[in-house]
């Protein structure tokens, strides 16, 4: 317990430390016949659901700082035989792009892992990037960012949660499965603007799509599901200022997002953590909200936290 508090206090010494969030999703549902380069009906409905839930200014488990600042979709042009083209990632983010009046960055080829990592380096402190991609490459991004062994080795073939809706049969691919509901979230950390972003924590969660674009926002998209709810940790009260983060001027904020693995420790440990937390210096962030965040010290103890 003393070691835990010491880790938190040592991390707080990085007064200029900066964070950013990257949420990676698979494009929406497609037909098992890949010759159709567009989303299937359920995929278009999922895109509308994402737009409805993610454009909401309310904090959610998936978007603890509010709506994303950057939208990125992969490019998959036709091969030499005129096959395998896909516009599904772009179509998945198009409704969200319209809702936020935010362009989709649609210039990276789906195989360009290094280009993706370089694109991350352009994130400003406190920004959130939402990425729609071909799922078979998302595990490559995770490994490239140094999280091998802390995240699934590959995108799951099946991920239906216990909701009242199941993926349609036409979305099932015998080799690639039909898992479309997951979000892979990466927490990026750097010591300051002169340093490169690196990933310090990984989370897996569900969107909660139930087949209808106008359906209720549930699971990780549930309104008000502050990050303090991860792993059934004690919730943190929302900041008094409810102004959408895009309208806020730059302001320092104390990051206090403690993952669910803290639950179960004794009262003494919790007190030590609270003392350590209060000793933290403010860190550079664009949002004026107070949120909890898994810091590097914590991720050295429990870098993989799955929410399913």
Question: CA nearest 34: which of 98, 82, 71, 97?
Answer: 82
pLDDT tens digit sequence for 93-145: 999 999 999 999 999 998 899 999 999 999 999 999 999 999 888 888 888 88
> CA gyration radius for the chain?
19
**Given pLDDT bands bounded at 50, 70 and 90, which one contains residue 286?**
very low
- What sign for the dihedral angle of Cα 132, 219, 188, 245? positive
DSSP 131: E
pLDDT tens digit sequence for 189-229: 999 999 999 888 899 999 999 999 999 999 999 998 866 54
pLDDT for res 82: 59
In whole angstroms, give the CA distance from residue 199 to residue 19: 10
Tokens for 209?
């799509």
Question: CA nearest 290: which of 277, 273, 276, 272?
Answer: 277
Q: The whole model's pTM is what?
A: 0.71
> Judging by DSSP bridges, how do beta strands 182-190 and 18-26 pair with one another?
antiparallel
pLDDT for res 226: 63
pLDDT at 11 exceeding the cut of 70 = no
Element holding 3 (H helix, E strand): helix 2-12
Of the listed ranges 178-182, 220-224, 299-303, the one predicted with least confidence: 299-303
Please identify which residue in the block is written with the tokens 């007190």: 271
User: Strand, helix or coil at 190?
Assistant: strand
In whole angstroms, give the CA distance from residue 193 to residue 196: 8
């Amino acid at each position: 317990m003393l070691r835990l508090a010491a880790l938190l206090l040592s991390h707080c010494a990085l007064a200029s430390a900066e964070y950013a969030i990257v949420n990676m999703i698979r494009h929406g549902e497609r037909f098992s016949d890949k010759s159709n380069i567009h989303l299937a009906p359920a995929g278009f409905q999922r895109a509308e659901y994402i737009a409805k839930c993610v454009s909401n200014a309310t904090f959610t488990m998936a978007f603890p700082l509010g709506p994303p600042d950057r939208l990125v979709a992969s490019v998959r042009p036709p091969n030499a035989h005129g096959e395998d083209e896909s516009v599904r990632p772009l179509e998945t983010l198009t409704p969200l792009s319209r809702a936020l009046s935010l362009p989709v960055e649609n210039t990276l080829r789906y195989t360009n892992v290094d280009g993706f990592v370089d694109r991350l380096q352009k994130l400003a402190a406190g920004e959130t990037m939402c990425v729609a991609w071909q799922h078979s490459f998302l595990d490559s991004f995770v490994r490239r960012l140094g999280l091998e062994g802390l995240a699934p080795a590959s995108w799951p073939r099946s991920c239906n949660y216990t909701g009242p809706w199941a993926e349609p049969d036409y979305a099932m691919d015998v080799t690639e499965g039909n898992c479309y509901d997951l979000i892979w979230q990466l927490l990026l950390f750097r010591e300051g603007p002169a340093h490169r972003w690196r990933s310090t924590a990984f989370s897996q969660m569900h969107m909660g799509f139930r087949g209808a674009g106008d359906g209720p926002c549930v699971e990780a998209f549930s309104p008000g599901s502050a990050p303090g709810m991860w792993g059934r940790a004690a919730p943190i009260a929302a900041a008094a200022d409810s102004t959408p983060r895009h309208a806020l001027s730059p302001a320092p904020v104390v990051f206090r997002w403690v993952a669910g693995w803290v639950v179960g420790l004794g009262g003494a440990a919790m007190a030590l953590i609270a003392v350590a937390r209060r000793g933290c210096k403010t860190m550079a962030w664009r949002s004026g909200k107070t949120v909890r965040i898994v810091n590097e010290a914590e991720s050295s103890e429990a870098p993989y936290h799955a929410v399913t």
